[in-house]
Amino acid sequence: MSEKNRKKVDIENIVFTTLNTIYLIFLCVVMVYPMVNTLAVSFNDPLDTVRGGIYIWPRKFTLYNYYVVFNMDSIYKAFYISVTKTIVIVITNLFFTSMLAYTISRKEYIFRRFITVVFVLTMYFNAGLIPNYLLIKNLGMINTFRVYWIPHIVSAFNLIVMRTYIRTIPESLIESAKIDGAREFRIYWQIVLPLIIPCLATIALFVAVGSWNSWFDTFLYNSGKQELSTLQYELQKLLASTMTAGTRGAPAGVTEAGRAGTGSSNVTTPQSLRAAITIFTAVPILLVYPFLQRYFIHGLAIGSVKE
Amino acid sequence: MTTQPLAQPKKKKTVWHTIAAQKELIIMSVPLLLYKILFSYVPVVGWTMAFQNYKPAVRSFWKQEWVGFDNFVKLFVGLNGERFLRDLRNTLGQSFLTIVLGYIGSISLALLLNEVKNIKFKKVVQNITYMPHFLSWVIVAGLVSTMLAIPTSGGIINDVLIRLGLIKEPIMFLSEPKYFWWIVACSNLWKEMGWNTIIYLAAMTAIDPTLYEAAVIDGANRYQKMWHITLPGIKSTIVVLLIMNVGHILEAGFEIQYFLGNGLVVEMAEIIDIFVLRYGIQMGNYSLATAAGIFKTVVSIILISMANFIAGRLGEEKLV
């Protein structure tokens, strides 16, 4: 390569790398700005926020919005329900899915194929909203806590992922346990389960995030019972009330909603309240995020193994 | 004393013996199988509602009036028909835009990330762009509506556009029907763009590095390498995902449209799933809503089977 050509390539490389870096940084800003802005608003004085101009840093710092949020009875209860529901779903889903995955990982099991097909098919078709709703209704699960977890105790996708993972356990291990007289459940509980912990951890995180973020089941089945409301549902209600104000073009003003739950003479606005609840709802996700991302590649690796 | 024969005559192994021998496995799995059948297959019985004039309050389940395909006809003609066809158009339009923008966004991001030599910077960008995937749609809808609001309510987009002198008055994005499809597509882009690069980046690691070396020797520049090596290297992944997405084109989401849609934009916002919800749960017209749901499921199954067939024909691994 001639000296001139080399110089040209060098300059091209520098230009490309610079533009690329600028674009990627811009993209990162676009990704984080909405959350950072919300964080800033949540720590800013509500009446000051209405004047506009809050970007990434609060102008008049206050904890008042959070004070209001933590004193709202509905948020307290919703937080409790969201946490309980997530814990129950994670435990039941992992237990039942892994148990079933163990049985269908056993090559000699007579119903292995049938069970696999029954579950895999459900990944591709759905009876639809109304028939499912009527089933839940006929089972008497409308406005109950159990509607949150019973429909989710086994999930087809996780079943296949777990089965694939369990198959990597040497068969001789299971054989020798059998020769020693161990029953099937004991083999599953004492030998298989400890060996699939990395897989369980990954799935647990994703199941937990899914459950924490879900809104539709509360909306469809439990919207008639305030005690069963979740954080996402409460946040959406607040969003809906401020949205209608927003579409008319008027800045969201001070409303009675802002006074909810406090006898204080201070006020907050739906906008600020919404920001605080958004942060409150997102924090658990952001807390598990470092663990989640450690498992991304791993989780995807186990998910992608096909037969 | 009789001696035991050394080799017992081999008993014929029947199904019942196997079942008896595997009873523990059966106890562990069959209840869950029945559970799945109850929750995923029994509701299909409800499809009969689509062929009836279903009035649960008036008649019992067994005494409903059968009307044949009347409800399906109603889906396409008359006042309901107009609404359904509009919703079908919205579903397809929003899905299509979402798919196209999503592809351009995540493939280009994956290509650019692949060119980053600084591993630390690459990791940081990846972790930041993956994050929105884990936020709920409720939160995302809230963020989107804030970003699109007027400047004093935190609407950064109007703020920037005004500062750049592109517009004088803030645009009411969420009150004008013509923006709605784009808002849905861009929200999806924001949420999933980073996450969707994972699969492309994984495919890129499988490309043989000697191809790049050979290209350099032949005098290829960076863009030529991207265009002639990296892109063809992930082509099969792109094709498979494209086919799969087309198979799911009637799944345009639900929550984002439900949260951001309002009376002013309903013309462009309402999708089939919301139609089903409004007619079924809110108006109690189970028959028509079920018919709409069946239409959606059947079309989806046909599309998915076709996608699967095409993928097989193209020599790709079958998806289903």
Cα–Cα distance for residue pair B106/B137, rounded to 1 Å: 20
Question: How close B71 comes to chain A (CA, Å)?
Answer: 15
Which CATH number goes with the domain that contains A261?
1.10.3720.10
- pLDDT (0 to 100) of residue A232: 95
**Residue B211, domain member (yes or no):** yes
Cα–Cα distance for residue pair B238/B99, rounded to 1 Å: 12
Mean pLDDT of A30-34: 95
In this predicted model, what pLDDT tens digit does every residue of B273-319 receive, in sequence order?
999 999 988 888 889 999 999 999 899 889 888 887 887 777 655 54
pLDDT surpasses 60 at B67: yes
Question: What residues contact residue A18 under an 8 Å CB cut-off, 6+ apart?
Answer: none
Share of chain B above pLDDT 90, in %: 47
Phi, psi of B193 (to 5 degrees): -55, -50
CB within 8 Å: B130 and A293: yes
Cα–Cα distance for residue pair A299/B14, rounded to 1 Å: 41
Q: Which two tokens mark A13?
A: 């490389």
**Residue B15, domain member (yes or no):** no
Query: For B135, which of A41, A129, A285 is closest by C-beta distance?
Result: A285
Contact predicate A89/A211, CB 8 Å: yes
Query: For A278, which of B142, B264, B296 is closest by C-beta distance?
Result: B142
CB of B183 within 8 Å of a chain A CB? The answer is: no
CB of B306 within 8 Å of a chain A CB? The answer is: no
Contact predicate B264/A247, CB 8 Å: yes
For residue A214, the chain B residue with the least C-alpha distance is B136
Query: For B172, which of A28, A132, A249 is closest by C-beta distance?
Result: A249
CB within 8 Å: B44 and A127: yes
Local confidence band at B21 (pLDDT 50, 70, 90 cut-offs): confident
Q: How many CB atoms lie within 10 A of CB B205?
A: 9
| Alpha helix positions (H), B131-234 | 137-147, 156-163, 180-205, 209-217, 222-225, 231-233
For residue B53, the cross-strand partners are: B65
B179 by DSSP, 3-state: which?
Answer: helix
For residue B17, the chain A residue with the least C-alpha distance is A110
Cα–Cα distance for residue pair B134/B192, rounded to 1 Å: 9
In this predicted model, what pLDDT tens digit does every residue of B74-128 receive, in sequence order?
889 888 889 999 999 999 999 999 999 999 999 999 999 999 989 899 989 998 9
CB within 8 Å: A131 and B143: no
Across A247-251, A267-271, B6-10, B249-253, least confident range: A247-251
Contact predicate A92/A148, CB 8 Å: no
B78's torsion region: left (phi>0), alpha (psi -120 to 50) or beta? left
**Residue B140, domain member (yes or no):** no
HSE-up of residue B84 (Cα within 13 Å, Cβ side)? 21
Query: What value does the mean pLDDT of chain B take?
Result: 87
DSSP B37: I
Output the CA angle A34-B183-B277, nearest 5 degrees: 110
Burial of A290 (0-12, 13-18, 19+ CB in 10 A): exposed
Question: How close A263 comes to chain B (CA, Å)?
Answer: 26
Mean pLDDT of B11-32: 86
**C-alpha torsion B50→B55→B59→B65, nearest 10:** -40
Local confidence band at B9 (pLDDT 50, 70, 90 cut-offs): low
**Residue B28, domain member (yes or no):** no
CB of B320 within 8 Å of a chain A CB? The answer is: yes
Q: Which of A114, A97, A108, A94 is nearest to A163 (CA)?
A: A97
- pLDDT (0 to 100) of residue A12: 80
Under 8 Å CB pairs connecting chains A and B tally to 244
Q: Where are the beta strands (DSSP E) in chain B?
A: 52-53, 65-66
Which residues on A lie below 8 Å from B29 (Cβ)?
A: 99-100, 103-104, 109, 111, 115
Question: How close B28 comes to chain A (CA, Å)?
Answer: 7
Share of chain B above pLDDT 70, in %: 93
Structural domain count of chain A: 1
Which residues on B lie below 8 Å from A57 (Cβ)?
A: none
**Residue B38, domain member (yes or no):** no
Cα–Cα distance for residue pair A268/B31, rounded to 1 Å: 52
- pLDDT (0 to 100) of residue B57: 72
Cα–Cα distance for residue pair B271/B251, rounded to 1 Å: 9
Mean pLDDT of A29-47: 93
Please indicate whether residue B311 or residue A279 has the higher confidence score (pLDDT): A279
Domain that holds residue A263: 64-307
**Residue A34, domain member (yes or no):** no
Mean pLDDT of A14-38: 94
**Residue A155, domain member (yes or no):** yes
Mean pLDDT of A186-200: 91
For residue B36, the chain A residue with the least C-alpha distance is A119
Helix pair angle (A112-121, B23-36), 10° resolution:
20
CB within 8 Å: B222 and A54: no
Q: Which two tokens mark B86?
A: 């509009």
Question: How close B5 comes to chain A (CA, Å)?
Answer: 24
**Residue A237, domain member (yes or no):** yes
- pLDDT (0 to 100) of residue A266: 63
DSSP B318: P
Query: What value does the mean pLDDT of chain A take?
Result: 85
CB within 8 Å: A130 and B296: no
Local confidence band at B141 (pLDDT 50, 70, 90 cut-offs): very high
For residue A97, the chain B residue with the least C-alpha distance is B32
Nearest-Å Rg of the Cα atoms of chain A is 26
Domain that holds residue B297: 70-135+177-313
- pLDDT (0 to 100) of residue B12: 63
Which CATH number goes with the domain that contains B86?
1.10.3720.10
For residue B49, the chain A residue with the least C-alpha distance is A131
For residue A44, the cross-strand partners are: A61
Q: Which of B95, B96, B103, B101 is nearest to B240 (CA)?
A: B103
- pLDDT (0 to 100) of residue A97: 96
Question: How close B207 comes to chain A (CA, Å)?
Answer: 17
Local confidence band at A260 (pLDDT 50, 70, 90 cut-offs): very low
Mean pLDDT of B191-198: 92
Share of chain A above pLDDT 90, in %: 51
Three-state SS letters, chain A: CCHHHHHHHHHHHHHHHHHHHHHHHHHHHHHHHHHHHHHHHHCECHHHHHCCCCCCCCCCECCHHHHHHHCCHHHHHHHHHHHHHHHHHHHHHHHHHHHHHHHHHCCCCCCHHHHHHHHHHCCCCCCCHHHHHHHHHHCCCCCCCHHHHHHHCCCHHHHHHHHHHHCCCCHHHHHHHHHCCCCHHHHHHHHHHHHCHHHHHHHHHHHHHHHHHCCHHHHHHCCCCHHHCCHHHHHHHHHHHHHHHHHCCCCCCCCHHHHCCCCCCCCCCHHHHHHHHHHHHHHHHHHHHHHHHHHHHHHHHHHHCCC
Please indicate whether residue A241 or residue A295 has the higher confidence score (pLDDT): A241
At position B147, the amino acid (one-letter code) is: M
Structural domain count of chain B: 1
In this predicted model, what pLDDT tens digit does every residue of A148-170 receive, in sequence order?
999 999 989 999 999 999 998 88
CB within 8 Å: A246 and B149: yes
**Alpha-carbon distances, residue B271 vs A157, A214, B92, B148, B244 (angstroms):** 27, 20, 9, 22, 20
Cα–Cα distance for residue pair A38/A56, rounded to 1 Å: 8
Three-state SS letters, A182-250: CCHHHHHHHHHHHHCHHHHHHHHHHHHHHHHHCCHHHHHHCCCCHHHCCHHHHHHHHHHHHHHHHHCCC
Cα–Cα distance for residue pair B11/A305, rounded to 1 Å: 40
Please indicate whether residue B184 or residue A299 has the higher confidence score (pLDDT): B184
Q: Select the residue from B136, B171, B205 to test the A interface by mutation, using most A Cβ atoms within 10 A.
A: B136
- pLDDT (0 to 100) of residue B309: 83
CB within 8 Å: B39 and A135: yes
pLDDT surpasses 50 at A250: no
**Residue B6, domain member (yes or no):** no
Q: How many CB atoms lie within 10 A of CB B185?
A: 22
Phi, psi of A115 (to 5 degrees): -60, -45
**C-alpha torsion A297→A298→A302→A306, nearest 10:** 30
- pLDDT (0 to 100) of residue A251: 40
Local confidence band at A78 (pLDDT 50, 70, 90 cut-offs): very high
CB within 8 Å: B153 and A30: no
For residue B66, the cross-strand partners are: B52
- pLDDT (0 to 100) of residue B7: 54
- pLDDT (0 to 100) of residue A307: 33
CB within 8 Å: A247 and B281: no
Sign, CA dihedral A158-A161-A166-A169, equals: negative
B86 by DSSP, 3-state: which?
Answer: helix
For residue B65, the cross-strand partners are: B53
Question: What residues contact residue B14 under an 8 Å CB cut-off, 6+ apart?
Answer: none
Local confidence band at A127 (pLDDT 50, 70, 90 cut-offs): confident
CB within 8 Å: B153 and A24: no
CB within 8 Å: A32 and B128: yes
- pLDDT (0 to 100) of residue A89: 96
- pLDDT (0 to 100) of residue A241: 80
Query: For A247, which of B137, B147, B262 is closest by C-beta distance?
Result: B262
Q: Which of B259, B246, B264, B266 is nearest to B308 (CA)?
A: B246
